A and B are shown apart, each in its own frame.
Chain A
């Protein structure tokens, strides 16, 4: 049982957290033909947009209601109306997803009310998919924005099944958390399809932000799940939710369509994937394909090879709750000690993290604690780069954003194969660090006057 502590500083230094409206917008990016729209000042959008573009190295659709000071005070009805009309006319989207921001929430804009008025006034929008989510910046974090938005999508876009007899035994819904990459989703799709099942991913970032060259050029998302497919998700026989953040969405699906769900809090590591594969075998009625028997063996072998390096490492990790739970769990199972864990927001998984204390804090906390507790492996998103430089310990980039390395969209953590590759990547970082910074010297084991060993440690090789 970990205790969850909330940081008490007045000043967040080197934030780990990002805001929930862009987490919400991110979820909308997994819908085909979508244009996410932030209801706020244009900076709210442009900062988020830059972050996504730098992470994915792709053109990213994201619009703004461009609220001025005057509009903010008077209320944003006209800006919302004009933004929706402009997007509708110019980019011909299939759906517009609207998230509020701190500015418009402080004023208290009633966007649901606005949307009703706009639908009445403009008949062409009467049944056009417009989904609104309330996501003030001054509450919660990125992951919460995603969680709320996916749940809202289900409430707004999934049709109630007309007859439960029409439930399709081969169809499964997959509700992935925002900690999974487009590459992870493709891996999951392959695994699920190998059991003869037909998955519908909501949201499906693999279709929109995997970097493919689009069939049609469009200013909206270039792929993802279509609104019409979302509407029929109620006919699936199962919902698979990945990450505790997706419980809310899975429950919304169950409530709307009666679809039973199974929540996988983790998909990184041997045991979580055993559970996942057996579940697929069970619901599909098929034996586990030989490919997965082989992949399981490969993962087991990778764990054997890597435990020499990962075992005993003192891990400092900063990530949003579900990613933190998943990665720290896997590394704990590989013999690492989760020495420092910092996260962004509350979650039921936090107290089950295999460490003494989980701190809701920032990267300054992560860095200071890592230093104080002598950690020798750092995992967090790209903003940890400055801390890693100062700490001089191996740094594995995980989570969003990853703007200073390529391939963020294809980094894997799920499945036997994804876990295998992740273990190799981390172990190799540790090996390289050992080679560069920790070669033994004649003084490594020499004791000083007080009996301290290792007085020549590391410093001699710099």
Chain B
């Protein structure tokens, strides 16, 4: 386990992560695992994260070493798509029992690997460690090594038992495993000056295939996609790519950066969500390839494709403009976190409420991402009736979000569109953005809503559940207004900074007492925002609400 501890520490020191760079030495040591709150947490574990990151590799047998819960409760639940093998969708688990817990599960694991090779003969087996075998000391590294030698086939240990941390940490540990055991272990059949890696793209709903035709047209070859619709051999030989694109999230930053360090493959962080981001990413791919020796003319061809695709997409979206006149979208997402989704929605004539955009510098984009991320957390913490009131207050016509907020939105007869990872539709690239607009149109103008919004004929005005929800919220607010003791208690109970556990009352008092005007000053006094930093937006809001002229000039203001 000591090597696992070292790997985790290495991940926390990741220099490619902007968040880490801004932390002090001591903060970095603690790592970026958010303090999980018992009874108030809802995320996946590190094993979940590792599996999410690697399972889209389609020809690999993914074997989970643990009790039935880890695989039995979760297999074949991802929306990634494969153009070839289906072995990645097969659930393999050692399903360890009480005897294994007492005597150790290594023998069973070894036998399981043998059975898989005999029955399925995959090009590689990934073995995922889970909590129980980690506790009883099963050494999966040793078992994998022995199996590899015996069967002459890559057997890769993925050491990310659930209890070491969050899903995000699991993503990174998965990255470390393929860096250590897979990447660079094979050679591609041939290489071209147009070979790229796409890192951190999972081909959910087959969305990679919305972009791949454009790359094909430009003669750009995806040498390896890590991991959507990927194959073991492609990842093993991905070190020969000329350039890499790291898709959006920070999930696999360690892979991109270390491949740059080890193999000299330059990378950029980009996204194919939205029209402008798609164009930007295509340009960036062309630029990096040219830098690495591809012919200059690639850029002109890329620009031509971009111009054609943009024109088509905008023309397709323009049709919706008159229909969307005056319609409002409440966008709450931790999923498709791209600024250019916002831009495309605005281009289609939709008005965004809840978050609004005034400028569009690069920093703004970052801020919007952050803000939306916060909202997504906020909405998960919300009592459903508060959420209902928010929907009413926002006067939105449709809500775009992910996660469990959908059920409240739908039950509040609010059109809703899934833009999280379980979504049915693919929204990537130019065609994807048009698809998104089409789906919004379908949801908005469904005639069903009108009937659903009518109360049941036997219901009296003011007696519907909707009216009651609003009334309860109002009553709760009135109680607070009338009772200073209770209000004080509520103020103390409302956590603003989860990492450092700082409440609203403490922050407000500090601002008042010391005349604080900046987020930095609040951090010095109260420690708030001193952890992951994601709550700086909330602190800014508090400063603004208390009439402090915001000197860091927030570029975003709440619409309401």
Contacts and interface: CB of A to CB of B under 8 A. Distances in A.
B38 A11 contact: no
A42 B45 contact: yes
Contacts of A218: 383-384
Contacts of B234: none
Given A14-B90, A51-B74, A217-B408, A69 B38 contact: no
A100 B57 CA distance: 33
A37 B164 CA distance: 20
28 contacts: A9-B112, A11-B94, A11-B111, A12-B68, A12-B71, A12-B92, A13-B90, A14-B91, A17-B95, A21-B69, A42-B36, A43-B70, A47-B48, A48-B73, A51-B73, A59-B407, A59-B408, A83-B38, A87-B39, A89-B493, A102-B131, A137-B68, A138-B67, A141-B68, A215-B468, A219-B384, A383-B75, A386-B89
B100 interface: yes
Q: Which 10 A-B pairs have the closest CB atoms?
A: A43-B45, A83-B39, A11-B112, A10-B111, A86-B39, A217-B384, A83-B38, A19-B69, A137-B67, A217-B385
Given A42-B43, A213-B411, A106 B136 contact: yes
Interface in B128-174: 131-132, 134-136, 161-166
Given A42-B41, A138-B97, 17 more contacts: A10-B114, A11-B63, A11-B111, A12-B71, A12-B91, A19-B73, A49-B42, A51-B74, A59-B384, A69-B163, A72-B131, A102-B131, A102-B132, A103-B135, A137-B132, A213-B411, A214-B411
B93 interface: yes
Contact of A11 (B66, B115, B472): B115
Interface in A122-168: 136-139, 141
B77 A54 contact: yes
Contact of A15 (B93, B136, B468): B93
Nearest to B40: A86
A173 interface: no
Interface string A72-85: 11000001101111
Contacts of A15: 68, 71-72, 75, 91, 93, 95
B55 to A, nearest CB: 14
B162 A44 contact: yes
B40 A59 contact: no
A301 B109 CA distance: 53
A64 B44 CA distance: 11
A19 B68 contact: yes
Given A86-B38, A138-B96, A43 B44 contact: yes
Contacts of B480: none
A64 B384 contact: no
Given A17-B72, A102-B66, A103-B135, A69 B92 contact: no
Contacts, number: 225
A131 to B, nearest CB: 16
**Residue of B40, B90, B116, B383 contacting most chain A CB atoms (<10 Å):** B40
A10 B94 contact: yes
A107 interface: yes
B14 to A, nearest CB: 20
Contacts of A14: 75, 90-91
B44 A46 contact: yes
B68 A50 contact: no
A363 B75 CA distance: 12
A138 B384 contact: no
Main secondary structure on B side of the interface with A: helix
A38 to B, nearest CB: 9
A66 B38 contact: yes
B77 A50 contact: yes
Given A43-B162, A86-B37, A137-B67, A103 B72 contact: no
A58 B407 contact: yes
B272 interface: no
B261 interface: no
A66 B131 CA distance: 13
Given A10-B111, A90-B40, A137-B69, A42 B162 contact: yes
Contacts of A84: 39
**Residue of A37, A41, A84 contacting most chain B CB atoms (<10 Å):** A41
Contacts of A219: 383-384
B69 A80 contact: no
Contacts of B40: 63, 83, 86-87, 90
B41 A66 contact: yes
B135 A72 contact: yes
Contacts of A72: 131, 135, 163
Interface in A7-37: 9-15, 17-19, 21-22, 37
Interface residues of A, number: 71
A311 B190 CA distance: 59
A40 B161 CA distance: 12
A386 B113 CA distance: 22
Contacts of A87: 39-40
B404 interface: yes
B551 to A, nearest CB: 35
Contact of A18 (B47, B72, B115, B383): B72
A65 B408 CA distance: 25
Contacts of A22: 69, 73
B465 interface: yes
Interface in B166-206: 166
B273 interface: no
A39 to B, nearest CB: 9
A44 B69 contact: yes
Given A106-B101, A107-B135, A46 B91 contact: no
B131 A103 contact: yes
A80 to B, nearest CB: 7
Contacts of B119: 13
A14 to B, nearest CB: 5
B76 interface: yes
Given A19-B73, A41-B131, A42-B44, A68 B97 contact: no
B211 interface: no
**Residue of A37, A64, A73 contacting most chain B CB atoms (<10 Å):** A64
B385 A18 contact: no
**Residue of A13, A84, A90 contacting most chain B CB atoms (<10 Å):** A13
Interface in A52-66: 53-54, 57-59, 63-66
B48 A46 contact: yes
Nearest to A84: B39
B479 to A, nearest CB: 15
Contacts of A64: 38-39, 41-42
**Residue of B39, B71, B164 contacting most chain A CB atoms (<10 Å):** B39
A336 interface: no
B333 to A, nearest CB: 18
Given A11-B115, A67-B163, A86-B38, A102 B67 contact: yes
A450 interface: no
A46 B43 contact: yes
B22 interface: no
A134 to B, nearest CB: 13
Contacts of B164: 68-69
A105 to B, nearest CB: 8
**Residue of B66, B134, B135, B422 contacting most chain A CB atoms (<10 Å):** B135
Contact of B86 (A11, A106, A386): A386
A63 to B, nearest CB: 5
Contacts of A103: 131-132, 135, 162-163
Contacts of B63: 11
B255 to A, nearest CB: 22
